[in-house]
Amino acid sequence: MDKFRIAMTGDFLTPDGTPAYPMADFSALAGDARIERVFLPLDPKSDGSETLSAAQLEGFDAVMMMNFAFGRDSVPKGGRLALVTRFGVGFDSVDLQACRDNAIALVNAPDGVRRPVGVAVIGLMLALTLRLFEKDRLARGGPTGWADSANFMGVGLVGRTLGIVGFGSIGAEVARLARPFGVRIIAHDPIADPAVAARMSVPLVGLEELFRDADFVSVNCPLNDKTRGLVSPKLLGLMKPTAFFINTSRGDVVDQAALIETLVARKIAGAGLDVTSPEPLPAESPLNRLDNVILAPHALCATDQCFADLAAADVNAVLQVLHGHAPRNVVNRDVLENPAWQAKLASLRQRFGT
């Protein structure tokens, strides 16, 4: 019997072969007799960031990826592969041009991470301004710590300015969540829809103006050739000494050496970083020793609801392609007009029906 074959990266499983994330429901794939799922072996020493090989993916119709990368050398020679799904929203680990050249659609899951990442940004903003971690330490210090609490005054939010770098799906969600706190919101995004920003009463401003005016800078843009190193020493130098910097996008969007220098010199009030470069940080990184930084292991948005929604989105994309239909959230949308991609869909419709 002909099968629709799906390769799933090994990081969806624990070392003993059980689901690593039980809240991610893939049962619709497991219960379909037309589908064969194969979990790619995971090297026990792997950190899940290596690039998949073409040999691993030969003979598959789709690949579902968590942390692995998909490069030009990942494209199988047989020409069967039609779909790559990302268990998340970022796609800097995927060679888009290789996908275009080989009629492979790349799908991500923005709906699954929009709210969780937005909540993560607000969580970092609140933790920084409330001085949450410092006060936790004081409370554990007994009477001496409690007596010192007056020296750790927090920062109120009403009337402060939140600057959002990247006003796409996540940036707009950050704005919606932040509004009830009484902050003024500005944003920078050269490709943002001005009508959407206007409806949300969010002025689109220049990047230098944003860094100069904001009390909180939240970075929410994808990593690509245009955004790599976007947050430069010059921009960091424009920030107020009372301002906070928050990054939940990708570490390489920021000149990390310049950020460290800025934090060490106390030129800004602090930073909340869910992402760094590299990941994980080496033990000797100065960021690990700074008391004006909150660090997280690129996992603040990792909640049960987030992972359930990511799985639902990826499963839906796979089932759409199985039936010969274009899925939602195709990143490289030009592939939809590619005759080779359309031929793959026609073949799938013939093999598995509508």
- 120 with 241, same domain: the answer is yes
Contact indicator for 113, 306 with CB cutoff of 8 Å: yes
Contact indicator for 166, 121 with CB cutoff of 8 Å: no
| pLDDT, average across residues 334-338 | 97
In the set 37, 115, 184, 298, the catalytic residue is 298
* Boundary-marking domain end, from 249, 278, 295: 295
Percent of the chain with pLDDT over 70: 98
The pLDDT assigned to 225 comes to 94
Q: What is the CATH number of the domain that holds 76?
A: 3.40.50.720
- 137 with 265, same domain: the answer is yes
* Boundary-marking domain end, from 295, 315, 338: 295
- 287 with 172, same domain: the answer is yes
In the set 279, 323, 325, 349, the catalytic residue is 279
- 179 with 286, same domain: the answer is yes
Over 80: is that where the pLDDT of 1 sits?
A: no
- Rounded CA-CA distance 251/54 in Å is 28
- Catalytic: 250? yes
Question: Coil, strand or helix: which one is 50?
Answer: coil
- 183 with 283, same domain: the answer is yes
- Calculate the dihedral angle through the C-alpha atoms of 110, 113, 117, 119, rounding to the nearest 10 degrees: 120
- Sign of the CA dihedral with 122 first, then 304, 69, and 170 last: negative
Contact indicator for 221, 192 with CB cutoff of 8 Å: no
* Boundary-marking domain end, from 251, 278, 295: 295
Over 70: is that where the pLDDT of 116 sits?
A: yes
Report the chain's mean pLDDT, rounded to a whole number.
95
- Rounded CA-CA distance 306/296 in Å is 17
- Residue corresponding to tokens 């609801």: 305
The pLDDT assigned to 31 comes to 86
- 342 with 227, same domain: the answer is no
Q: Domain range spanning residue 12?
A: 4-108+304-352
Q: Which residues of 40-57 are buried (b: 16+ CB within 10 A; e: fewer)?
A: bebeeeeeeeeebeeebb
- Rounded CA-CA distance 286/284 in Å is 6
One-letter amino acid identity for 276?
Answer: T
Which is more confident, 149 or 47? Answer: 149
Contact indicator for 279, 251 with CB cutoff of 8 Å: yes
- 22 with 77, same domain: the answer is yes
Least Cα distance to 278 among 49, 18, 39 occurs for 49
52 token code pair: 């998949």
pLDDT-derived band of residue 327, with 50, 70 and 90 as boundaries?
very high
Domain total in the chain? 2
Least Cα distance to 237 among 218, 251, 222, 217 occurs for 217
Least Cα distance to 245 among 275, 221, 206, 215 occurs for 215
Least Cα distance to 226 among 260, 190, 259 occurs for 190
**Cα distances (angstroms) measured from residue 262 to each of 210, 270, 285:** 17, 9, 15
**Residues recorded for the chain:** 354
- 177 with 250, same domain: the answer is yes
| pLDDT, average across residues 203-214 | 98
Q: Is the pTM of this model over 0.85?
A: yes
- 8 with 92, same domain: the answer is yes
- 144 with 289, same domain: the answer is yes
Contact indicator for 74, 96 with CB cutoff of 8 Å: no
pLDDT-derived band of residue 277, with 50, 70 and 90 as boundaries?
very high
- 64 with 118, same domain: the answer is no
The pLDDT assigned to 62 comes to 98
The pLDDT assigned to 176 comes to 98
- 17 with 82, same domain: the answer is yes
For 151-188, what is each residue's pLDDT tens digit? 999 999 999 999 999 999 999 999 999 999 999 999 99
For 340-354, what is each residue's pLDDT tens digit? 999 999 999 999 976
- Rounded CA-CA distance 99/104 in Å is 5
How many helices (DSSP H) and strands (DSSP E) are in the chain? 13, 11
Least Cα distance to 222 among 266, 270, 167, 293 occurs for 167
For 33-91, what is each residue's pLDDT tens digit? 999 999 998 766 666 678 999 999 999 999 999 999 999 999 999 999 999 999 999 99
- Rounded CA-CA distance 132/124 in Å is 10
Over 90: is that where the pLDDT of 232 sits?
A: yes
DSSP letters along 59-113, please?
A: T-SEEEESS-BB-GGGS-TTS---EEEESSS--TTB-HHHHHHTT-EEE--HHHH
